[in-house]
Amino acid sequence: APFWDGNETWLILGGGGLWVAFPKAYAVIMPAHYLPIIVMLLALIFRGVSFEFRVVAKPHHRRWDFAFAAGSIIAAFAQGVVLGGLIQGLTVADEKFAGGTFDWATPFALMCGVGLVAGYALLGATWLIARTEGELQETSRRQARGLLLVVLAFILIVSLWTPLTFERIQERWFSTPNIYFLWPVPLLTAAVAFLAWRGIERKAEYTPFIASVLLFLLCYLGLAISTYPYIVPPTMTVQQAAAVPESQIFSLIGVVFMLPIILGYTVFVYWTFRGKVRLGEGYH
């Protein structure tokens, strides 16, 4: 439960932070992705309800397991679709979304949704390698091996699809002198992928998860490089979407007070629940 509550906190902080710090971007991104965002929120609610009901409805564990899995997959898929829709660009006129209701429903965005599901599954499998033992750990290790290959395939597809389809991304990565400064990013990605694979093969417990997290961070770094300075590609920059200085200062004060509390709570929870999770040790 603490992990679930912590994730809710980050979700609220992210959405609220976008609204306060970049209201113009919020006003474009939300209408452009109303349907996948609503689906994501409903899936997260369904996921939380199924998790709690599973504890008390013991004769129906399998049903609630399926419900929990469905909610998790749908929420992850919706997040990936929103991310893909943002990468491919939004139609903006007079600082408002001027596209259609289903502009997000493109092959690229749907592919990003499937890819993010695979990525989250990889994080989950490597996390279970670190936190469990015995048969469950070995099962997670086998799953992580296949999931890593799937995730790398999606990374390769996105890395080829985006520059071939979107000229602005092609210019960012392959024009001179940018290419000389950005080549370490794909090399680091390949190195981290090799580290994750070797950790899985050598039955390391923490290396696969750490490498998977680094893989995600490198992907988000690549995303930032591809889209900067646009927060709503390809028309609205970070500066254009930013709130007035007074609002930024007000939100900064709130972040300065709240962020240490959230980080402290997160560290405390992970420290409290450290170590292996073993069968019969109670509600974890």
Q: Is a pLDDT exceeding 70 seen at residue 3? A: no
Q: Is 158 exposed, middle or buried (0-12, 13-18, 19+ CB in 10 A)?
A: buried
CB 48 within 8 A of CB 4: yes
For the residues of 78-91, what is the DSSP string, one character each?
Answer: HHHHHHHHHHH---
Q: Please determine, for residue 59, whether its predicted confidence score (pLDDT) is greater than 50.
A: yes
Q: How much is the pLDDT for 284?
A: 45
- Percent pLDDT > 70 in the chain is 95
Say what the pLDDT of residue 4 is. Answer: 62
112: tokens are 């990003």
Q: 195-204, 220-229, 275-284: which range is least confident on average?
A: 275-284
Query: What are the structural domain ranges in the chain?
Result: 1-21+243-284, 23-238
282 pLDDT higher than 60: no
**pLDDT band for position 35 (cuts 50, 70, 90):** very high
Percent of residues in the chain assigned helix, strand, coil, to nearest 5: 80, 5, 20
- Is residue 7 pLDDT above 70, yes or no? no
Average pLDDT, the chain: 87
Q: Which residue has the tokens 């474009």?
A: 28
User: According to the model, what pLDDT value does residue 124 have?
Assistant: 93
Q: Is the distance from CB of 24 to CB of 94 less than 8 angstroms?
A: no
The per-residue pLDDT for range 164-191, each reduced to its tens digit, is 888 888 888 888 888 888 889 999 999 9
- Of the candidate ranges 9-18, 128-137, 257-266, the one whose mean pLDDT is the lowest: 9-18
List pLDDT tens digits, range 71-109.
Answer: 999 999 999 999 999 998 888 888 888 888 898 999 999
- Higher-confidence residue of 250 and 193: namely 193
pLDDT band at 122 (very low <50, low <70, confident <90, very high): very high
Q: Which amino acid is at 219?
A: C
For residue 280, pLDDT beyond 70: no
Q: Which of 81, 88, 79, 91 lies closest to 28, judged by CA? A: 91
Tokens for 194, please give them: 């090799």
Q: Give the residue-averaged pLDDT of 196-219.
A: 94
Nearest to 82 by CA among 47, 43, 51: 43
Read off the pTM: 0.88
pLDDT at res. 211:
96
Q: What is the pLDDT of residues 243-252, one digit of tens each?
A: 888 888 888 8
Pairing verdict, β 92-93 and 236-237 = unpaired
Q: What integer is the mean pLDDT of 156-160?
A: 92
